[in-house]
Copies of this chain bind each other. A is one copy, B any other.
Amino acid sequence: MSTRLVLHEDVRSGNCYKIRLTAALLGTRLERRGYDILKGDTRSPDFLAQVNANGRIPVLQVGTRFLPESNAACWYLAEGSALIPEDAFQRADMLRWMFFEQYNHEPNIATLRFWLLYLGEANLSATQRGQIPVKRAAGEEALRVMNEHLAARDWFVGDSVSLADLVLYPYTHVCEAGGFRLQDYPAICRWLDRIAALPGYVAMSA
């Protein structure tokens, strides 16, 4: 009997979508439990005590254990599959892009989408407003690095899709909601199409 897998999520979050997309490509069934981050659902005493003391979703529940951090959850689901390269250097290089995603990409590209699409520019604090140009420039730089890397290759690592592609896809494919323009990055656009054509692909809204 396989272990019960429950995704604690907010459907608007690209970090949660990463895990659903990985599971879909693997044919792995996930139960889903929804939270509203805008209503503070992930800061409740129960959530902090039982699900994640860091107050964030997604969390992948594996039986009675809880695994925070989207990219760690994708790793857990994909271990032993073709989504993680067998070659040791390629495996580390895949993790390199997954750390790049959390450090250079998500805090800029996902945050601007969250601020502009869900909070609304008029509701931002002065400190947040002051960060918009900083995050805009850093997000453009992350997209530039991705576009250059993809100019001569189909996938981020090796010759096939890996978790590096799957964790970079979610916030990239909806980056225009944060004010970025995909047409400026043609190699990224072709890569987005390749991912959407993968067998088992599910949309973010699914």
CB-contacts of A96-136 with B (<8 A): 96, 98-100, 102-104, 106-107, 126-127, 130-131, 133-134
Q: How often does this chain occur in the complex, in copies?
A: 2
Nearest CB in chain B to that of A93: its residue: B67
Residues 169-194 of chain A: 1 if any B CB is under 8 Å from the residue's CB, otherwise 0?
00000000000000000000000000
Contact B53 A68 (CB under 8 A): no
Contact B100 A75 (CB under 8 A): no
Within the assembled complex, what's the spacing in Å between the Cα atoms of A186 and B149? Answer: 44
Given contacts A75-B95, A93-B67, contact A103 B100 (CB under 8 A): no
Chain B residues near A62: list those with CB within 8 A: 89
Within the assembled complex, what's the spacing in Å between the Cα atoms of A93 and B149? Answer: 29
Closest approach, in angstroms, between the C-beta of A165 and any C-beta of chain B? Answer: 16
Chain B residues near A102: list those with CB within 8 A: 99, 102-103
Contact B79 A95 (CB under 8 A): no
Chain B residues near A148: list those with CB within 8 A: 53
Within the assembled complex, what's the spacing in Å between the Cα atoms of A145 and B89? Answer: 32
Given contacts A88-B79, A92-B76, A131-B131, contact A104 B54 (CB under 8 A): yes
Chain B residues near A68: list those with CB within 8 A: 96, 100
Nearest CB in chain B to that of A126: its residue: B130
Chain B residues near A130: list those with CB within 8 A: 126-127, 130
Residues 31-67 of chain A: 1 if any B CB is under 8 Å from the residue's CB, otherwise 0?
0000000000000000000000110000000100101
Contact A107 B96 (CB under 8 A): no
Contact A69 B145 (CB under 8 A): no
Contact A99 B72 (CB under 8 A): yes
Check if A11 is an interface residue, CB within 8 A of chain B.
no
The 8 tightest CB contacts between A and B, nearest first, are: A76-B92, A72-B96, A69-B96, A69-B99, A72-B95, A102-B103, A72-B92, A54-B145
